[in-house]
Structure 1
């Protein structure tokens, strides 16, 4: 089977990556059986994954064995990072959907206790997984991408919802003394997070591709949020925002800065490690 066209297309559109996963064996059989225009249409997911891998390369080890895969190609982030940034995106989306942009109070203590469990589970599973990299080193259980994804998703959700009140207090001239999320809302959002994890583990190619895109969007969103806070402090703009529209220029600048940071981090990684 000749996948030369698809491979050449991916590498032409993505000269930075030259991905080691970009091999003929990685592509579905049906790509080789269709004409040029149809091959171009079928190739876009693999081109997209390779581009997304650049954005994620500076913050994630991207080990194939630790990553969910679609058609034999790893997603742009490992399973744990995929979960972390999907969970973060879910948390930020919840804040927006519930109109809590100005909320400046952390969740109630039962929710904080639950979030603490999520952080401990994430850290414990990560440590256990890391220990397996050393042959013969004792560890509690065999790690799996399912657990990496689950603990990452719950930790990312907890992270974004814990961090947001800091943004609410820092950015707005008149922050609202309102909790960013209630216990009942947390139960619903955690259920949604579990459903997302389940959908990615089925696995369905469409769900995995959507997960790849949304995880990178979550990564960009977190970098944007952190850069917005940093720029606000550096420019002495704390407590200056009055209306939601006042936030847009700051978000635009922070997004551009975050994208640049991720690209630079990936280039530094490639310069240091060659992959």
Structure 2
């Protein structure tokens, strides 16, 4: 009898905790509702300003926004125009965005488990390979001994591998840190078939770039540009979410409206400061244009 009573007490306590959790979540939802409008308002204003700002072509505006976080050397020309970010970053951040959208399409918005060790090892290898290629390019710039002559095709290819790895890592970190209900039994990438699908999609960037498929200029420019801003935004979202008390508290993405609004503001501030600082360095002749 006492054992049964103890079980009933535990069940009642658990039910009370669950009810309390639902109540807190509802209170937070109501409190955060204005922040949803704020998020879309800020984002819409920024996009409208970018598109409507007179006197400068859109690709040059995109170039200026990323000027502080991308070296913007070794640019790739497509259809007679340079892409707004360099060959390597086009691969990294285009791949990041494509892989992230691919994982969402697979239903991995709550996934919080590393892929099979063999896939995880391959992702780690991608990082190492890009590091080798990056240092090789640096040694060339510094007139030091190097392994081979750098090529933009290789920069983009190794960047694609890196971007895929970043997407998987950020999914894992964000879900583990902010999700109240992360699915720790669901790998972010379940098998080699899914992994191969991500790589095939990402390699389309390489095909379009170096196959000179000119009508793909704007899709690639936008995807890679949004990707590089997206990584910075996600990092700011993680930091803002943790410091604002959203750690292990989120069950729906819309609950992140408040930290997401702050993350947008931080992202814009960081981009502005970094770009402004680099333009100042260039104006002083301290950095080559």
Q: Does 1:13 align with 2:13?
A: no
Whole-Å separation in 2 of the counterparts to 1:134 and 1:175: 46
Looking at both structures, which has the greater relative contact order when contacts are Cα pairs under 8 Å and sequence separation is at least 6? Answer: 2
Determine if contact 1:107/1:162 at 8 Å carries over to the other structure: no
Aligned partner of 1:240 in structure 2 is 249
Aligned partner of 1:53 in structure 2 is 63
Aligned partner of 2:164 in structure 1 is 157
Whole-Å separation in 1 of the counterparts to 2:54 and 2:200: 42
Q: Does 1:192 align with 2:234?
A: no
TM-score by length of 1: 0.78
Unaligned residue ranges in structure 2 (runs of 5+)? 1-52, 284-288
Aligned partner of 1:7 in structure 2 is none
Whole-Å separation in 1 of the counterparts to 2:215 and 2:257: 32
Whole-Å separation in 1 of the counterparts to 2:200 and 2:243: 38
Aligned-residue offset at 1:238: 0.5
Whole-Å separation in 2 of the counterparts to 1:235 and 1:251: 11
Q: Which structure has the larger Rg over C-alpha atoms?
A: 2
Aligned-residue offset at 1:72: 4.5
Unaligned residue ranges in structure 1 (runs of 5+)? 1-10, 15-46
Aligned-residue offset at 1:12: 5.4
Whole-Å separation in 1 of the counterparts to 2:257 and 2:151: 40
User: Which moves more between the two structures, 70-79 or 206-215?
Assistant: 70-79
Q: Secondary structure at the match of 1:132?
A: helix
Q: Secondary structure at the match of 1:207?
A: helix
140, 143, 151: which one aligns with 1:132: 140
Determine if contact 1:220/1:259 at 8 Å carries over to the other structure: no
Q: Secondary structure at the match of 1:13?
A: coil
Determine if contact 1:68/1:145 at 8 Å carries over to the other structure: yes
Alignment of 1:1-275 (within 5 A): 13-14=55-56, 47-63=57-73, 66-135=74-143, 137-177=144-184, 178-183=186-191, 184-274=193-283, 275=289
Whole-Å separation in 2 of the counterparts to 1:272 and 1:232: 34
Aligned-residue offset at 1:71: 4.8
Q: Secondary structure at the match of 1:173?
A: coil
Whole-Å separation in 1 of the counterparts to 2:257 and 2:238: 13
Q: What are the superposed Cα offsets for residues 4-37 of structure 1, whole Å, 9 maximum, x if unpaired?
A: xxxxxxx9523xxxxxxxxxxxxxxxxxxxxxxx
TM-score by length of 2: 0.75
Aligned residues: 231
Aligned-residue offset at 1:231: 0.2
